Amino acid sequence: MNLTLKTKAALVTTLVVLATVSLAGGWLYRQQARDHVALLRSQQDTLASAMAANLDFKLAASLAALAGAARRVDAAVLTSPAAQARFFEANALRPPFNGVAIVGDDGMVALNDPPNTAPVNIGDRDYFRQARVTGQPTISAPVLSRSNGHPVVLMAVPLFDANHRFIGALAGGLDLLSDNALGDLGHAHVGASGHYEVVTRDLSPLYVMHPDPALLMKPAANLATPDDLDTGRDFVTRRTLRHVPWELRIVIPAHEAFGPLQRARRTLLLALLLTGIGTVLAVSAGLGWLMRPLETLWRSMREQRRTPDVVVPIDTRANDERGQLAREFEGLMHELRAQRAELAAVSDTSPLGLFRAGLDGRLSYVNDAYLRIHGFADRDEAAEGWIGMLPKDDQDEARQAWRRIVTEPVGMHVTRRLQRADGRTIVVVVRSAPIVIDGRVQGHVGTVADVTERIEGDRALRTQAAIFEATTDFVVQTDHKGRLLYVNPAARRMMGLAPDAPIKHLTALSFNPPATVARHAVEIVPTAVDKGVWAGETVQWDAQHREVLVSHLLLAHKDRHGRVEAFSAILRDITAQKSAQQALHRSEAVLRSLTEVVPMAIAVVDKTQRCVFVNQGFEAWVGRPRDQLLGHTAEEVVGAEEYAIRRPWIERVLAGERLTFERDDPSREQHRHVRVDYIPLFDEAGEVEGFVAVTTDISAARAEERRLRDLAQTDPLTQVLNRTGFQRALDDRAARAPDEAPDALVALLYIDLDRFKPVNDLYGHAVGDQLLQMFARRLRQLVRPTDLIARLGGDEFVLVIDGLHEEANAMIVADKVVAAAELPFELPAGTLQVSASVGVACWRPGDAATAGGWTQALERADAMLYRAKAAGRGHAVANATMDA
């Protein structure tokens, strides 16, 4: 903003007056503020000291009353309800406390007043542990009550027996949400809007008392004591309590504490404002009368500056400073008009576009060449018209960059691509230089050159040269007589020429076998001359004179009269391509032969789901010849029902996913299990062009897996489950336990043959094995097919029987096992006699829902087995039903 001399003088005078008045008023305001704050602090200090002493007294009195009552607690009060009732009635501890409790030495609350039926233990509370350790009364930090969930402060006085042994504590609680020594203080007001706060004194202070119940036991705000003139903060006064590590705060809101000061400050500012306005008006009126002649000269000079080519009359007759200034200005304008005339003559004849830009970026002058280059109709359109010739997304950024450039003291050189209104795209080079007057930039002047044709020609030549230099094809140019003019790097390498070797003395035919030379004379060159181009395959020589098969394109370049000026040849080595094609044909033949002999059913399906190839294995699998399969859809080949099952898999493989799955083949009379692989086929663009379906019969492999698994879980001697098979069967039953009837019983019988070792020692292990086999057969005859029989090792067997109604059923089976073992064993070696001991464990299905439960049952049955042996062998012993 440009200020007139009159305005500046008025402002300076006003500022001096206001500064003087402000300093005096400010000093008075600060004195008043200090006196006000000192009086307020004295009042609040007195109040804080009195309130802190009062709160200290109430807390001390409450603690003393609780301690006095504690001295009247004896052992009877801790155990006798009648004594407890008499104690609470005689001591009248409510009030001052909202609740009183007698606590045992383990922290368990024995009795509450008022009563509370829920069990409460305060053994982990800090105040209880401190009273128990120190033997002194304690006051707690604010905590949440375990009886009603309210924030409370608790006092505890230790209780001792006649031998001064700690037997418990008498505790009194102050509910911070109720009326008491603390709660009453939270409802009290200081002044109109002030309040009291009580906070703990530690590293993380908490609110013990606050008018807002939601803040109780929350982290306390760090309220700093304000400076004398810090009117933006609440006024806080603090006092420390003697009996507890707490701090009492009196908080007066800033708007109440400093209200008088703020009103005084507003009055002072209003007075300053009125004084400033009066001063400005008075000074402006006086200076206006003094500056009127100079203002008249200024208007004339401004009009002359706006229209420098028009002579504006200026009064130069005055003999004072105004006349001198007018005469100097008139001389300067005469020189300026002469310079402008010279510049206009030069710019109108220049082939370059000339322009001048102001500090706002707009062009204030352009010559005719500038208009012609940009296609503008007049100079008004040229002010910012070039910006509209840029892409829309770039216009705002370009405008801001240009406005920044014209204010900088450095020149610019940039190339721009512009779109004219007639649709033509031009490339221009813009150069500018700053206009610096008295060290300040006043704008830029510059030139614009249209380089569109030159840029396009250079780009075409660079592109062509780059293609020729980088391509792996062989590019050769000759004159009309066949002398070499240009050979690209790839052709030089093939011909054995160094990159910088001269070529003008060589001809293209020097690098061709005789047959190719003859073909050039009778076919290639005549065709190119006649039709402008020839294309085909020829044989060339490389650097070692080896024949190279190439694809060959020959172009004939003619002048405007039709005479040949030069030839261009483009050749490509296709030796590897031909070899690859031959190798591909051989690979296809080998692959087709392999697919016919592999023991798999193979089919190739295109992306329309039609079969394009099947091998003999696939023909045998579906039972139809190849001519009835090729060209048919997958649904027609496998049938509608089977296609409905396979359709999701087909859609996934056609989406590019490789799939492998196993399933039973429903089309076979004999059960067969197959593995199917769907493999997507991709083209060079990465698109799926079909898939390969491979079907393999894996029935025998799966049967062998099952056989080996059964062998691994069966005892080879007795053909019952071994320990591994038994554990697997237990895991399966544990998984089914939640589905079984909850009231049914399951029994585990742990069996050990008595006097079996002498059989092995006297008759040999072969006889012992025969006895074990016969005993296993007897066990099978005793139980149901669904029950488990296992040999855990040596002469130890286990039975698991489920679905029992009572434990007696398990003992019946155990007695049968004992009886079966005592029957004579008729063996080739003679008749042998043994016995068996049985341990029985019973439980409900839910008791052994995991493998760990079965292990526990087995351990219990084993323990019962040893009891049976201790009872004299040949017995069965059961334990009580396990309780989960």
543-587 residue pLDDT tens: 888 888 999 999 999 988 889 999 999 999 888 877 777 776 776
In the chain, what's the furthest Cα-to-Cα distance?
A: 163
Tell me whether strands 835-843 and 876-878 are parallel, antiparallel or unpaired.
parallel
Judge residue 852's burial from the number of C-beta atoms within 10 Å of its C-beta, 0-12 exposed, 13-18 middle, 19 or more buried: exposed
Choose among 212, 207, 252: nearest CA to 234. Answer: 252
In the β-sheet with 474-479, what is the strand arrangement from edge to edge?
484-487, 474-479, 564-573, 547-558, 533-541
Query: What value, to the nearest 5°, has the Cα angle with vertex 511 and ends 510 and 515?
Result: 90
491-to-557, 589, 729 alpha-carbon distances in Å: 20, 37, 79
Query: How big is the CA angle at 531 (ends 528 and 536), to the nearest 5 degrees?
Result: 50
The mean pLDDT value for 520-531 works out to 91
Q: Report the mean per-residue pLDDT for the chain.
A: 83
**CA angle 799–802–806, rounded 5-degree value:** 105
3-class secondary structure, 96: coil
Distance CA 55, CA 240 (A): 11
CA geometry: angle at 266 spanning 261 and 268, to 5°? 95
pLDDT tier, 308 (very low <50, low <70, confident <90, very high otherwise): low
The segment with the largest mean pLDDT, out of 132-141, 145-154, 590-599, 849-858, is: 132-141
Residue 874 scores a pLDDT above 70: no
pLDDT at 593: 66
Please state, in angstroms and rounded to a whole number, the distance separating the CA atoms of residues 54 and 48: 10
| pLDDT confidence bin for 1, thresholds 50/70/90 | low
Pairing of strands 825-827, 835-843: unpaired
Q: What kind and span of H or E run contains 291?
A: helix 259-306
Q: What does the alpha-carbon distance between residue 599 and residue 617 come to, in Å, rounded to a whole number?
A: 7
pLDDT value for 42: 84
- If pLDDT is split at 50, 70 and 90, which confidence band does 884 have? very low
Query: Is the predicted pLDDT of residue 852 greater than 60, yes or no?
Result: no
Q: Which residue has the tokens 């079965």?
A: 854
Q: How confident is the model at residue 297, as a pLDDT?
A: 67
Angstrom distance (rounded) from CA 629 to CA 872: 79
Task: Judge whether residue 426 has pLDDT over 60.
Answer: yes
Better pLDDT: 304 or 338 = 338
pLDDT of residue 774: 93
* Predicted confidence (pLDDT) at residue 882 exceeds the cutoff of 50: no
pLDDT band at 455 (very low <50, low <70, confident <90, very high): confident
How many CB atoms within 10 Å of residue 677?
17
State which H helix or E strand residue 415 sits in.
strand 412-419
* Contact present, 44 and 237 (Cβ < 8 Å): yes
Report the 10 Å Cβ neighbour count for 62: 23
How far, rounded to the nearest angstrom, does the alpha carbon of residue 135 sit from its chain's CA centroid? 57
> Which pLDDT does position 850 carry in this prediction?
43
| Residues 610, 635 contacting (CB under 8 angstroms) | no
Structure-derived torsion over alpha carbons of residues 604, 607, 612, 614, reported in degrees to the nearest 10? 20
pLDDT at 590: 65
User: What single-letter DSSP state applies at residue 602?
Assistant: E
> In 535-632, where does DSSP find H-type helix?
575-597, 616-622
Residues 217 and 209 sit within 8 Å (Cβ to Cβ) = no
Residue 205 CB burial class (10 angstroms; 0-12, 13-18, ≥19): middle
Strands (E) in 230-286, as ranges, are 235-240, 246-252
Calculate the alpha carbon distances from 572 to 498, 539, 544, 575 in Å: 20, 11, 18, 9
464: tokens are 């062509």
8 A C-beta contact, residue 659 and residue 653: yes
> Would you state the structure tokens that stand for residue 75, as one six-digit string?
């052992």
Whether the predicted pLDDT of 597 surpasses 80 = no
pLDDT of residue 839: 92
Q: Which tokens hold the place of 693? A: 């379906």
The whole-number average pLDDT for the span 265-288 is: 77
For residue 868, give both structure tokens.
């049976």
Collapsing DSSP states into helix, strand and coil, what is residue 189? Answer: strand
Residue with tokens 């004379």: 521
Using DSSP's 3-state secondary structure scheme, residue 501 falls into coil
**Alpha-carbon distance values, 623 to 311, 620, 636, 695, 696 (Å):** 113, 5, 14, 14, 16
Query: What is the spatial distance between Cα 59 and Cα 185, in angstroms, rounded to a whole number?
Result: 13
Q: Specify the 3-state DSSP secondary structure of 242.
A: coil
The tens digit of pLDDT for each residue in 718-751 reads: 889 988 888 888 887 777 766 666 677 889 999 9
* Spatial distance between the Cα atoms of 619 and 628, rounded to a whole number of angstroms: 9
Q: What pLDDT sits at residue 807?
A: 87
| Exposure string over 406-415, b if 16+ CB within 10 A, otherwise e | beeeeebeee
Residue 714's SS3 state is: strand
Q: Is 184 a catalytic residue?
A: no
Residue whose C-alpha is closest to residue 63's, from 131, 195, 155: 155
Here the tokens at position 517 are 């030379």
- For residue 670, the model assigns a pLDDT of 62
pLDDT digits (tens, 9 = 90+) for 622-669: 888 988 988 999 999 888 988 998 899 999 999 999 998 887 776 655
Amino acid occupying residue 346: V
With bands split at pLDDT 50, 70 and 90, how would you rate the model's confidence at 217?
confident
- The confidence score (pLDDT) of residue 591 equals 64
Instruction: Report the pLDDT value the prediction gives residue 883, as an integer from 0 to 100.
Output: 38
Helices 851-870/723-736 angle, 10° precision: 120
Average pLDDT for 289-301? 68
Higher per-residue confidence, 798 vs 270: 798
pLDDT digit string, tens, across residues 187-205: 788 878 888 888 988 888 8
- Residue with the bigger pLDDT between 701 and 766: it is 766
Nearest Cα to Cα of residue 75 among 104, 108, 109? 104
Query: DSSP string of 23-87?
Result: HHHHHHHHHHHHHHHHHHHHHHHHHHHHHHHHHHHHHHHHHHHHHHHHTT--HHHHH-HHHHHHH
pLDDT mean over 412-416 = 91
Highest mean pLDDT among 87-91, 176-180, 744-748: 744-748
Tokens 């004579």 label which residue?
A: 824
Q: Which residue has the tokens 């197959």?
A: 674
> Half-sphere exposure of residue 646, counting CA atoms within 13 Å on the CB side?
28
* Number of neighbouring beta carbons within 10 Å of residue 365: 17
CB within 8 Å of 701: residues ≥ 6 apart? none
Instruction: Assess contact for 741 and 819: CB atoms under 8 A.
Output: no
Catalytic residue (choose from 752, 795, 802, 847): 795
In the chain, the N- to C-terminal Cα span, in Å, equals 93
Q: Decide if pLDDT at 530 tops 50.
A: yes
**Of 190 and 79, the one with more pLDDT:** 190
Helix (H, G, I), strand (E, B) or coil at 473: coil
User: Does the structure show a pLDDT above 60 at 46?
Assistant: yes
